[in-house]
Structure 1
Amino acid sequence: MKQLRLIGAPTDIGAGRRGASMGPEALRVANLQQALQQHGLNVTDGGDLSGPANPQQGPVDGFRHLEQVVAWNRSVHEAVHATLQQGQLPVLLGGDHALAIGSIAAVAQYCREQGKKLLVLWLDAHADANTNTSTPTGNIHGMPVTSLLGIGPDQLTSIGGKVPALQPDAIRQIGIRSVDREEKQHLHELGLRVYDMRHIDEHGMRVTMEQALSGIDADTHLHVSFDIDFLDPAVAPGVGTAVPGGPTYRETQLCMEMIADTGRLASLDVMELNPACDVRNQTAELVVELVESLFGKSTLIR
């Protein structure tokens, strides 16, 4: 039986808009733990991590709240790594997407220790590949991908003990539709594999996911970093940085079910749920359904 551990990271320290700090509690209110337990999973709620409050200051050298973001990520890194070492599957409940730095650095460290191959699926409207010189805002939730690839200040890039934590070929981005001008250049230079919305429009979600999941084998640790703004805001309004034109509810269900079909999902981030932007917690309830699909809920026995 799969053992899951929920880890709350209630902070919006890396975001421009406040409210993602309430995300973990909204997912609990939407009965995430109970929903997963119905599928025969053993789910422990590890409660919330703690870290510095949001000082709501402007950027310094192109970074907002660098020191506080580092503190939160260290805490996330420690919790995720410990969970993996105990043989459990960590489910990080965000919080803003800057926390993926600590989460994925921990997964990468664990994979190095176990001699496993890591594949990260980055489901997001945004590429999150800015740097302090290209960012229009200084918000670090726009920089986790570059940080994990070793671009940025030491205290962010070295969480997890190895710089870079990942090579670009370990990440596949899906659903991207909002990229800043200089960030576009970064993606090109880094050679990141990006399945943007045009690719999904042209090829459909099934072919896109077959491509994104290609090469997975018994030796692969699959990590999903799921930013809720991946979804079209018409169905998932509860996010701080909504971008129109995302995958529909059905397309997202297919995406999740195809990930589940691999049987390789071994760690998960659920990020950027912002109840302050939501309508009666509908986005949180939708996310719970999608996470159930990630862990094998299906209409029929397949």
Structure 2
Amino acid sequence: MPASAAKSTIALIGVPLELGAGAAGTVMGPAALRTAGLRAAIAGLGHHVVDEGDMDVPHAVPEFAPGELANCRNLSDVAAWTGEIHDRALSLLASGALPIFMGGDHSIAMGTISAVSRFCAEAGRRLVVLWLDAHADFNTPATSPSGNMHGMSVAFLCGEPSLTPVLGERAFPALAAGDIHLFGVRSVDAEERRTLVERGVDCVDMRMIDEFGMSALLRGILDGLDPETTHLHVSFDVDFLDPELAPGTGTTVPGGATYREAHLVMEMLHDSGLVRSLDIVELNPFLDDRGKSARVAVDLVGSLFGRSIVHRPSPRA
């Protein structure tokens, strides 16, 4: 039975990083997810859950010469975190656990997914990434209006040359354009739009979702992927959701996924038997309404790991 359909060992790891974002507060994201009952929600579904605690702030901060990276805010600190996250993620993957990386802003994905890519290459598995986000996160140092590195994560993972120094000597296979799927996008900068077209990255925006529906578009991504040979990494940004549902994030964009749409996505992902690692990012308790966003995120993760209204045997089982 595929790993995500079976009862799994789940490893929670907190990544309290906020330096890649423009608004402070995501450093409290892991604590909010724990307070909202993430571990109990997953364990209640029969999984064995181990909480690895939070990562420590890195001490060895690399220095970078001015140049193309000059527009990257907090570059040295984010680079230090990226290296530490990569190493910790690689260790968790090697242990056989299914890791859940609790952010933290979306720059943590530069460390988590680079490690997953390296792990999959060594294991002979295909890596596919589902990026649930209001934003494309395909800016580069040359195109970013803000210099915030959480908006450069996908470009980094796809091998953007100007961002290669962020991970130093830790080489990883860059993602192919056909193996990353941006889903739920509704805010893209002008330069990002051109780059996405040039690189051929699959980008499902809310116009497409309104026209064709969540289930049809997600099924188009998942169908044909073999659970025996594919590692699906889900990178879930809280701003994928409509801000009325989840206000606790620093980059809200109206018109996001509804409660029912988001649960449909998570239940379909569970049924696929493909998911083997997960990011939960951009939860900012400082901007939330009495824990509303954290509770919704925990509910959605429950659906991802097997909770449903009625029993539905997995078509992949």
Give deviations 1:78-131, integer Å, cap 9, x for gaps. Answer: 111101100001100000001101000000011011100111000000000000
Letter in 2 for 1:44: V
Alpha-carbon separation, structure 2, partners of 1:216 and 1:160: 28
Cα contact 2:242–2:258 (8 A) shared by 1: yes
Task: State whether structure 2 residue 175 is matched by structure 1 residue 166.
Answer: yes
Runs of 4+ in structure 1 over 6 Å off: none
Query: In the alignment, what sits opposite 1:147?
Result: 156
Query: In the alignment, what sits opposite 1:66?
Result: 75
Query: In the alignment, what sits opposite 2:100?
Result: 91
Task: State whether structure 2 residue 112 is matched by structure 1 residue 127.
Answer: no
The verdict on how the C-alpha distance between 1:17 and 1:244 changes in structure 2, with shifts beyond 3 A counting, is same
Task: State whether structure 2 residue 83 is matched by structure 1 residue 77.
Answer: no
Task: State whether structure 2 residue 297 is matched by structure 1 residue 291.
Answer: no
Query: In the alignment, what sits opposite 2:119?
Result: 110
Alpha-carbon separation, structure 2, partners of 1:189 and 1:115: 28
Query: In the alignment, what sits opposite 1:22?
Result: 28
Alpha-carbon separation, structure 1, partners of 2:113 and 2:89: 9
Q: C-alpha root-mean-square deviation of aligned residues, in Å?
A: 1.4
Query: In the alignment, what sits opposite 1:6?
Result: 12
Query: In the alignment, what sits opposite 1:235?
Result: 245
Give deviations 1:54-84, integer Å, cap 9, x for gaps. Answer: xxxxx97211011100111111111111011
How much has 1:160 moved relative to structure 2? Answer: 4.4
How much has 1:215 moved relative to structure 2? Answer: 2.4
Unaligned runs of 5+ in 1: 54-58
Query: In the alignment, what sits opposite 2:49?
Result: 43
Query: In the alignment, what sits opposite 1:273?
Result: 283
Unaligned runs of 5+ in 2: 1-6, 60-67, 313-317
Query: In the alignment, what sits opposite 2:4?
Result: none
The verdict on how the C-alpha distance between 1:240 and 1:196 changes in structure 2, with shifts beyond 3 A counting, is same
Task: State whether structure 2 residue 145 is matched by structure 1 residue 136.
Answer: yes
How much has 1:177 moved relative to structure 2? Answer: 0.3
Query: In the alignment, what sits opposite 1:264?
Result: 274
Alpha-carbon separation, structure 1, partners of 2:307 and 2:266: 10
Letter in 2 for 1:131: T
Alpha-carbon separation, structure 1, partners of 2:15 and 2:239: 18
Cα contact 2:83–2:167 (8 A) shared by 1: no
What pairs with 1:163-242 in structure 2 (closer than 5 Å)? 164-217=173-226, 218-242=228-252
Alpha-carbon separation, structure 2, partners of 1:95 and 1:110: 22
**Greater length-normalized contact order (CA 8 Å, ≥ 6 residues apart):** 2
How much has 1:157 moved relative to structure 2? Answer: 5.4
| Structure 1 residue matching 2:276: 3-state secondary structure | strand
User: For 1:246, which of 256, 265, 269 is the aligned residue?
Assistant: 256
Letter in 2 for 1:118: L
Give deviations 1:236-283, integer Å, cap 9, x for gaps. Answer: 001010000011010000011001001111000000000011000011
How much has 1:165 moved relative to structure 2? Answer: 2.4
Q: Percent identity?
A: 48
Give deviations 1:117-175, integer Å, cap 9, x for gaps. Answer: 1110000000000001110000000000000111133322557413x521111101100
Q: How many residues align?
A: 296
Letter in 2 for 1:4: I
Alpha-carbon separation, structure 1, partners of 2:170 and 2:292: 35
What TM-score results when the alignment is normalised by the length of structure 2? 0.91
Alpha-carbon separation, structure 2, partners of 1:283 and 1:153: 31
Letter in 2 for 1:25: A
Query: In the alignment, what sits opposite 2:64?
Result: none
